[in-house]
Structure 1
Amino acid sequence: MLKRKPLTALLSLTLGLVGPLPLLAQTDASDSQRVGNIQYGNILDPTGWGAFAVPDPAGMSYLHAGQLRTPTGMLYPWPHQIPDEAPLGTGDWTYTGLVEFGYIHTSGDRNDEFFRMYSGLKNGAALSLLAFSALNPKTGQYVDFRGSRLSSQDQYYRLRTGSYGNYHIEAFYRDIPHTLSTTAYPLWNGVGSTNLTLPNGLATGSTPAQVQAVEANRPRQTLSVTRQSEGVSWESALTRNWIGYAGVTSEHRTGDRDWGGPMYLSYFFAAPGPGGPGTPSIPGTSGGQYDTVRPVDFTTTDVNLGLRNKGGAAGWLFNFTMTGSFFRDNKSTLDYAVPFAVAPGYNSVVTGGTWSLEPDNNYYNVRLEASHPLKLWHGEFSISAAYSSMRQNDALQAPLSPMYCPSGQFIGTTGIACANWNTTAALSQQDGDARIDSGLLNLRLDFRPSAKFSWHLNLRQRDEDNMTRYTMYNPLTGQYGYVPENGAESTATRQTELFQPDSPLYQSNFAQIASIPFTYDDRKTELGGSYRVNQNNTLSASYLLDYQTPRPRERTYINDQHFKLGWDTKAFGDASLRLSYEYQKRTGGPYNPDPYLDAYSPSLPGYLLPAVGYTAFTVAQMYMYDMSNLDASKLRAILTKPLGSTATFTATLYGNRLRYGADIGRQSYDTTGADLSWDWEPTAATSMSIHAGIESSRLKQGNVNDNEALTFSSPEQADAQFGGPFFPYANFWTATDNERDVDAGAHFRHVFSPRVRFDLDYDYTYSRGLNSYDYASLGAISTVYLSILTAADIGNSFPPNVYRMQTLTGNLNLTLTRRVGMRLYGKYEFGNYADWNYAGFNTPADLIVGNRVFTELGPQPHWHAMVVGVFMTVKL
């Protein structure tokens, strides 16, 4: 057997450079960062290595009959048996390999989206695993290949080769399916393309009844996205002390998914909708709301280059990396025709619109890390510096589409000519010209004055510069702002998003006229240390000051202080207990509820304040959660208790309590949870584990409804004070989100004989969310709803959302001959799902609600599905 040199072993552990199949049996380095953090597995074998995960009865060492524990009391896993090797030809190479193939059959609710979410299971033949490994013990060269193909959307292949202590090369290809919906009934033709057209019988200006009649006969479709990833990497010892590495990965996502459309003024209702009282959904009188389907067809390419040394250089250790990420969208726009007019009976030339999809963009990062030992107090000095840049300079599209707003036409009676807005000449610049640069410098000192005491000082400065600037100015008209949503607004409100100095029609309009370049600088200073009181007790403490200067934001600076205390003890027999407590206090400068006025028309020369002023941006007491004061406490306890020499009990308890000190905005957020597990491995042939985790969270926030009777009609609309005429106390409301999540399972492994191995897994997932609310008076309810709702209709909460899933998975491995085996696989999954947002969506016709168009009925409330497979395993 090849003995690994210390350096080779170190590289294998720290860099994921592992060798051929005999050594891969110990660990599968699927998480190699050189080619992307991708897990090579599938529903039949989530680890991607189950066929070789046979514990070795020899244990950890010939000198120790059983297992060993980590310093914290956890059992090390049993090492895996090394597969038999055979000579490869007449040279020094040996090899081992395995192929597993068979048949898969699914039954029950096989089209449920939760069952199909991340698997491409189809009835038929499947190659569950193909593995081959070769090794030359004399030269240290190795080759390893592993692959699986369940379907054309669910497969992976990986090749690794190299020479121990010299170089390593890896390449892979991976398909991962992601089913988003199996109950979609898109209204439009052309799903998957960039041009969504209305089906026969519909045109812009159709009535809800006409659209509903067509939707009732639309075909059912599945919306899904497939991720196709591939990559190659190289790593090599360039000299005695220097190692270089390089890697390129590319991920191509294709498919289609739900997407939006224009959503404006479709909420003036006359009667409750299909969900019953309290769910107002029947026809609006203006605009439309559309749930469309967009194509997904983009590629992300990542490039990594690096150089590091493992010694020398006068005691310095260096690590230099260069990273680039390049996003390319193969479909830049989405055109869609709309079935409803901008307003009922409104004869508009605007019959559709265009969405701009994600632009091409680049990311660059350069980083240098260095460390050097110090003679003082056995210390070490380390420094890291980095520069990164995010850039996007895609060509901008015209504000209106010439397809749906042709030249020579006007938008209603506004006098807005399509020719002045359906061309890129209406833009103040032709490209995005977006860029954000960041710089990072981190200095750290670590000292160990004695065997019991250590301390550290860390200084970190990160500066961000957002250089993106865009002014919404149309040179053809001399107007600032934009024509919104390709004509989704009616003629009466068309003027509200445009500003023009010295124009009686537009000079008093409050409109956004520029982008807002959000950015921040961040300086962190941390001082901490630990002291070992005795053999069983260690105390630790640290203080961190995080000073942030965001701009333009509600506060010009933030002071975020963190106090941390820790206690590690073995004072309770053979059990180990780790306790940690953190207190966080955030304060900052004076709070400005509206720091964004520079991006709006009142900041421009020529703006004429209307007689009634302009509407308050928000209530003055509204605190953004990341800008508000904060008092937070976080407590965590981790207990590890060995049970004899073959079992371990672990428990983690934690609780977080956050108070934001605000009535308007986020008020509090509390989380409590526990994780329990019991692991038992009496022999290499038997193992069993049980785990359970539960977490509860409560998020509370408050807000105040504006007095809509004053909007655009009274100077009091500019009063931003809580309790004033525009934001009265009577309009105050609160909302509370309560969540509870449970995750539990049991796992059993047993080798009955050298020929029979059985695995059984049970997993349970449960989630329940309840959104409740309270209000001071009915004034907190929008006037849109008050005409059709009573206090009894409103109630105090929405129905709970519940998700529950249980799975039972079994594997029976039978050895038939020395080289041939059989695997019987079975998985049964059942669950239920309830979401009040889908209430009333029972048939395709229900997806048309007034002037609103939805796309999917939602997941089925109950599902049962089964997968069975029979596979032959042949050792090569």
Structure 2
Amino acid sequence: MTFENPLYVGTNTIAAVAPNVLDPSLFTTGTYDLYPDNNYYNLRAEYGRSMPDWFNSRLTATVSLSKMTQDDDLIAPTSLDMRGLSINGVSALNNWNTTGALSKQSADAEIDTQLFDLGLVMRPTAKLDLNGKIRYYATDNKTDYQACNPLTGQWGRLLNDGSGGAFVFPNATAGNNPRGTLNTAFNTTGCNLEATQALGLVPSAGNVNIRNVPYEYSKLNYEFGGEYRLARGQSINGRLEREEYRREHRERDKTWENMLKVGYVNRAFDWGTLRASAEYGRRRGDTYDPDPYHAFYSASLGPEPTANLTNVASWIHAMSSFRKFDLADRDRLGLDLRLDVIARQDLDIGISGQYRDNDYPNSDFGRTDNQTLGSASLDVNWQPSAKLGLFGYYSYQKSSLSQAGVQPNGCIIGNYYYFYSDGFVGTGTTPAAPGRAGATLVNTVLVSSGDWQNSCADHSPTSPLWPDSRQWTVENEDTNHAFGLGGRYDFGFARLELDYTYVTGSSSLDYSYNPAALALTPVLTELAGSGMPDMDYTQQILNFNLVVPISKSVALRALYRYEEGTVDDWHYVGVAENPVPLTTGNQAVYLDSGTQDYHNNVFGLLVQVSF
């Protein structure tokens, strides 16, 4: 798929040869591949056996083996000839607009899966039902790709059809590599990974992707539960579950979660039914490794840098105390309540509530504190006669989410970092710190060649890379309301159906941070705190249906639907009025001004045939 590019695009990492000013007609188009063909093969066997003489039991077993393959022909990194451009001193002309620039010509992607499931249900007594299950599921990822151009021997890849790039070459800072090392030394190995590593040269950066990460996992589930009938119309139920994950190439090799669920049902009331349930889960895991991806990044091509003035921030994949939410320790609580009331013979009322709380007790950064969601609803159904039926409902939902992080600073070997009382962190090559108006010097830290891994690995008040003063937090809160009513009336010769729905929601963001530490201007400080207005939306829908039976098997349906919506999104404020802001130097063009308010009318006449 080829698309036109309306922007004047500057380059990043890619250098212009001559003339020094890029031809504005160079990046006028871009390309991307269409969705590939995929193949899926599955072999499945199931077995079931009833054992009435052994507690009225039934055994079920399932085995399933699957293979997913995708061998689509890959496309060239760019459709442009890259004239007048170079990458690390090597001409890019016609070296990237061909599939010869790829380390393999087709995806050759494959993931195999295995599933084994064994279940048993039994009724030891007339009042007790028991069931259990063991389930094992695993994926085996056989997909492999190296980001290296055989035509040039360069490790890395183009970005945005060639206007940018992510490449690695020998580190140019004096002292990291032997004197006289060429910046093209990696190119001579012909994309041979082992030969490149055997050179023993410190790479220019540690975070350049050179291989895909073949994520795969296995999951083992144990479940045991049952239901006991207390009395006529009353029962309690419970369930114990355990889930064990084993992952490849993730921050945690293994996580496990234990879950307890209990519930109560009462159908014995003359006036209705009551259902209540609660669940509690606790997830933990083995040691958290903030960087399990070393083999897939350029850091694996050679030794770590030791020379002064080398910025080693790219060798640190993530802050040690950062936790990804799907791997982090988590405690979760769920509560559900449903009450159905027979107010009158022709009137039913339902009241329900739900509460969810996910707590991340050991996550200082990432998804922190408690993620909560609460909802309540009321629904009413009234049927005064066989011909007339009316309904209405209202629901309310509110959720909150907290996140925290640290804006990285820098970690340069041989540099001093100066920590001031207002949170600002400066850097320089001498122990003497420059003065700062309105702030006093609190501490000075030197990043040394033998200790940068420790001094820059995690946050602290005096961390050069993750200083506490550059922490930020964000609170996200969503509130939603939904209201609806409708009904039907059967005239005999026709049936009329009418319903109306109104939905509205609001989302707010609240940031906290130290503007002095982040060196923000007063204008940015106002906008980035709580200065952004809430994001709001409203939607209304009206449906009208008239069904006229023609015979027992044929009916006509006339329909009308009206829908309108309004959206207020601060991300797009001012875009419609000024789609090309600061055109001199910025070269930015907004191609749309966001989601717009809308309304639609739909009319239809349908013929329904039943046979």
- Within-5 A mapping of 1:44-83: none
SS of the aligned residue for 2:227 comes to strand
Alignment match, 1:833: 567
Any idea what the Cα deviations from partners look like across 1:495-533, whole Å, max 9, x if unmatched? Answer: x52236985426522222111011111111111111111
Alignment match, 1:452: 127
Output the amino acid matched with 1:470: Y
SS of the aligned residue for 1:385 comes to strand
- Within-5 A mapping of 1:701-720: 701-708=403-410, 715=447, 719-720=456-457
Q: Aligned equivalents of 2:97 and 2:523: distance in 1? A: 42
Asked if residue 395 in structure 1 is aligned to residue 395 in structure 2, the reply is: no
Structure 1 residues 631 and 415: CA distance shift in structure 2, 3 A: same
Asked if residue 525 in structure 1 is aligned to residue 261 in structure 2, the reply is: no
Any idea what the Cα deviations from partners look like across 1:76-128, whole Å, max 9, x if unmatched? Answer: xxxxxxxxxxxxxxxxxxxxxxxxxxxxxxxxxxxxxxxxxxxxxxxxxxxxx
Any idea what the Cα deviations from partners look like across 1:362-420, whole Å, max 9, x if unmatched? Answer: 2222322221111211111110111122211112222333x3425xx542783333233
- Within-5 A mapping of 1:660-675: 660-661=360-361, 662-667=363-368, 668-675=370-377
Asked if residue 853 in structure 1 is aligned to residue 589 in structure 2, the reply is: yes
Output the amino acid matched with 1:594: D
Alpha-carbon distance, 1:579 to partner: 0.9
Query: Is the 1:552–1:595 Cα contact (8 Å) retained in structure 2?
Result: yes
SS of the aligned residue for 1:791 comes to helix
Alpha-carbon distance, 1:593 to partner: 0.7
Asked if residue 476 in structure 1 is aligned to residue 151 in structure 2, the reply is: yes
- Within-5 A mapping of 1:716-755: 719-723=456-460, 724-751=463-490, 753-755=491-493
Where do 5+ consecutive residues of structure 2 fail to align? 172-176, 185-201, 417-446
Alpha-carbon distance, 1:826 to partner: 4.2
Query: Is the 2:579–2:589 Cα contact (8 Å) retained in structure 1?
Result: no
Any idea what the Cα deviations from partners look like across 1:441-474, whole Å, max 9, x if unmatched? Answer: 0111111001101112211111111111112223
Alpha-carbon distance, 1:636 to partner: 0.5
Alignment match, 1:433: 108
- Within-5 A mapping of 1:151-550: 194-197=1-4, 345-346=21-22, 350-351=26-27, 352-374=29-51, 375-401=53-79, 403-405=80-82, 409-411=84-86, 414-489=89-164, 497-499=167-169, 503-505=181-183, 507-510=202-205, 511-550=208-247
Alpha-carbon distance, 1:479 to partner: 2.7
Any idea what the Cα deviations from partners look like across 1:604-636, whole Å, max 9, x if unmatched? Answer: 257766543521222111100001000110000
SS of the aligned residue for 1:405 comes to coil
Alignment match, 2:442: none
Output the amino acid matched with 2:459: F
Counterpart among 390, 393, 407 of residue 688 in structure 1: 390
Query: Is the 1:205–1:344 Cα contact (8 Å) retained in structure 2?
Result: no
Any idea what the Cα deviations from partners look like across 1:321-366, whole Å, max 9, x if unmatched? Answer: xxxxxxxxxxxxxxxxxxx999994458952543234332222223
What is the TM-score when the length of structure 2 is the normalising length?
0.79
Query: Is the 1:350–1:486 Cα contact (8 Å) retained in structure 2?
Result: no
Q: Aligned equivalents of 1:589 and 1:563: distance in 2? A: 22
Q: Aligned equivalents of 1:450 and 1:801: distance in 2? A: 56
SS of the aligned residue for 2:395 comes to strand
Alpha-carbon distance, 1:728 to partner: 0.8
Alignment match, 1:229: none
Structure 1 residues 379 and 821: CA distance shift in structure 2, 3 A: closer
Query: Is the 1:527–1:542 Cα contact (8 Å) retained in structure 2?
Result: yes
SS of the aligned residue for 2:384 comes to strand
Alignment match, 1:7: none
Asked if residue 577 in structure 1 is aligned to residue 274 in structure 2, the reply is: yes
Query: Is the 2:3–2:30 Cα contact (8 Å) retained in structure 1?
Result: no
Structure 1 residues 732 and 343: CA distance shift in structure 2, 3 A: farther
Structure 1 residues 607 and 473: CA distance shift in structure 2, 3 A: farther
Alpha-carbon distance, 1:706 to partner: 0.9
Q: Aligned equivalents of 1:744 and 1:738: distance in 2? A: 20
Asked if residue 601 in structure 1 is aligned to residue 298 in structure 2, the reply is: yes
Q: Aligned equivalents of 1:590 and 1:818: distance in 2? A: 68
Asked if residue 567 in structure 1 is aligned to residue 269 in structure 2, the reply is: no
Structure 1 residues 653 and 342: CA distance shift in structure 2, 3 A: farther
Alignment match, 1:113: none
Query: Is the 1:729–1:776 Cα contact (8 Å) retained in structure 2?
Result: no
Structure 1 residues 476 and 205: CA distance shift in structure 2, 3 A: closer
Query: Is the 1:342–1:487 Cα contact (8 Å) retained in structure 2?
Result: no
Output the amino acid matched with 1:768: S
Structure 1 residues 430 and 572: CA distance shift in structure 2, 3 A: same
SS of the aligned residue for 1:486 comes to helix
SS of the aligned residue for 1:436 comes to strand
Query: Which is further off, 719-728 or 586-595?
Result: 719-728
Counterpart among 302, 307, 312 of residue 614 in structure 1: 312
Q: Aligned equivalents of 2:128 and 2:20: distance in 1? A: 77
Q: Aligned equivalents of 1:385 and 1:445: distance in 2? A: 15
Query: Which is further off, 512-521 or 358-367?
Result: 358-367
Counterpart among 535, 554, 558 of residue 801 in structure 1: 535
Q: Aligned equivalents of 2:529 and 2:19: distance in 1? A: 32
Output the amino acid matched with 1:695: Q
SS of the aligned residue for 1:683 comes to coil
Alpha-carbon distance, 1:541 to partner: 1.0
Q: Aligned equivalents of 1:471 and 1:818: distance in 2? A: 65
Query: Is the 1:341–1:348 Cα contact (8 Å) retained in structure 2?
Result: no
Query: Is the 2:347–2:382 Cα contact (8 Å) retained in structure 1?
Result: yes
Structure 1 residues 824 and 530: CA distance shift in structure 2, 3 A: closer
Asked if residue 770 in structure 1 is aligned to residue 494 in structure 2, the reply is: no
Query: Which is further off, 582-591 or 638-647?
Result: 638-647
Any idea what the Cα deviations from partners look like across 1:740-794, whole Å, max 9, x if unmatched? Answer: 222221111113x434543321111112111221114442x4x6xx257353343
Query: Is the 2:48–2:60 Cα contact (8 Å) retained in structure 1?
Result: yes
The Cα RMSD (Å) is 3.6
SS of the aligned residue for 1:482 comes to strand
Q: Aligned equivalents of 2:39 and 2:323: distance in 1? A: 34
Query: Which is further off, 514-523 or 838-847?
Result: 838-847
Alignment match, 2:252: 555
Any idea what the Cα deviations from partners look like across 1:572-602, whole Å, max 9, x if unmatched? Answer: 4332111111101000000111110110122
Alignment match, 1:209: none
SS of the aligned residue for 1:672 comes to strand
Q: Aligned equivalents of 1:748 and 1:596: distance in 2? A: 58
Alpha-carbon distance, 1:540 to partner: 1.0
Percent of aligned positions with the same letter in both sequences? 27
Any idea what the Cα deviations from partners look like across 1:280-311, whole Å, max 9, x if unmatched? Answer: xxxxxx99xxxxxxxxxxxxxxxxxxxxxxxx
Counterpart among 353, 359, 374 of residue 659 in structure 1: 359
Query: Which is further off, 620-629 or 524-533?
Result: 524-533
Q: Aligned equivalents of 1:435 and 1:834: distance in 2? A: 44
Q: Aligned equivalents of 1:823 and 1:477: distance in 2? A: 66
Q: Aligned equivalents of 2:70 and 2:232: distance in 1? A: 57
Any idea what the Cα deviations from partners look like across 1:23-76, whole Å, max 9, x if unmatched? Answer: xxxxxxxxxxxxxxxxxxxxxxxxxxxxxxxxxxxxxxxxxxxxxxxxxxxxxx
Q: Which has the higher contact order (CA 8 A, sep 6+)?
A: 1
Alpha-carbon distance, 1:818 to partner: 12
Query: Is the 2:72–2:106 Cα contact (8 Å) retained in structure 1?
Result: yes
Output the amino acid matched with 1:680: W
Query: Is the 2:497–2:546 Cα contact (8 Å) retained in structure 1?
Result: yes
Query: Is the 1:773–1:797 Cα contact (8 Å) retained in structure 2?
Result: no
Aligned residue pairs, count? 537
Query: Is the 2:540–2:564 Cα contact (8 Å) retained in structure 1?
Result: yes
Counterpart among 610, 626, 630 of residue 326 in structure 2: 626
Q: Aligned equivalents of 1:875 and 1:437: distance in 2? A: 43
